[in-house]
Amino acid sequence: MKRQVATLAIMLLPLASAAAWADASGNWEQGYGHMMWSGGFGMLGALMMLLFWGGIVALIVVAVRWLADNRNAGTDASADALQVLRSRFARGEIDEEEFRRRKAALDE
């Protein structure tokens, strides 16, 4: 999952300089200028920008969590519980009688 987040961050890195690309002339007085300070919608534009990027980040987080949950949904809980029981028996944490009793409870 860390690898996926890192890959996504690297893919989105060019978007960080989108404001510089939008005003490539370097002269804010000519043309549209920078929308937040010299025209446009002022603070409302800044709020809308924050809401937009916040929504994008929220969608990415939801997508990553959904993919992680779907990947883990295919596991069988009873098989995992039986594996834990076997490992506890192998380590000597429980005796054979306890192992059989719990295994029978899992099989029901």
* Structure-token pair, residue 27: 């002269």
Same-domain check for residues 44 and 70: yes
Same-domain check for residues 3 and 53: yes
pLDDT tens readout for residues 53-103 = 999 999 999 999 988 877 766 556 667 888 888 999 999 889 999 999 998
Q: Which carries the bigger pLDDT value, residue 107 or residue 79?
A: 107
Q: How confident is the model at residue 44 (pLDDT cuts 50, 70, 90)?
A: confident
Same-domain check for residues 85 and 70: no
Which residues span the domain enclosing 70? 1-9+35-74
Which 3 state secondary structure label does DSSP give 102?
helix
Same-domain check for residues 93 and 40: no
* Structure-token pair, residue 82: 């039986």
Helix (H) or strand (E) holding 66, with range, is helix 43-73
Sign, Cα dihedral of 36, 39, 30, 12: positive
Residue 65 lies inside a defined structural domain of this protein = yes
- For the segment 42-48, the average pLDDT, to the nearest whole number, is 78
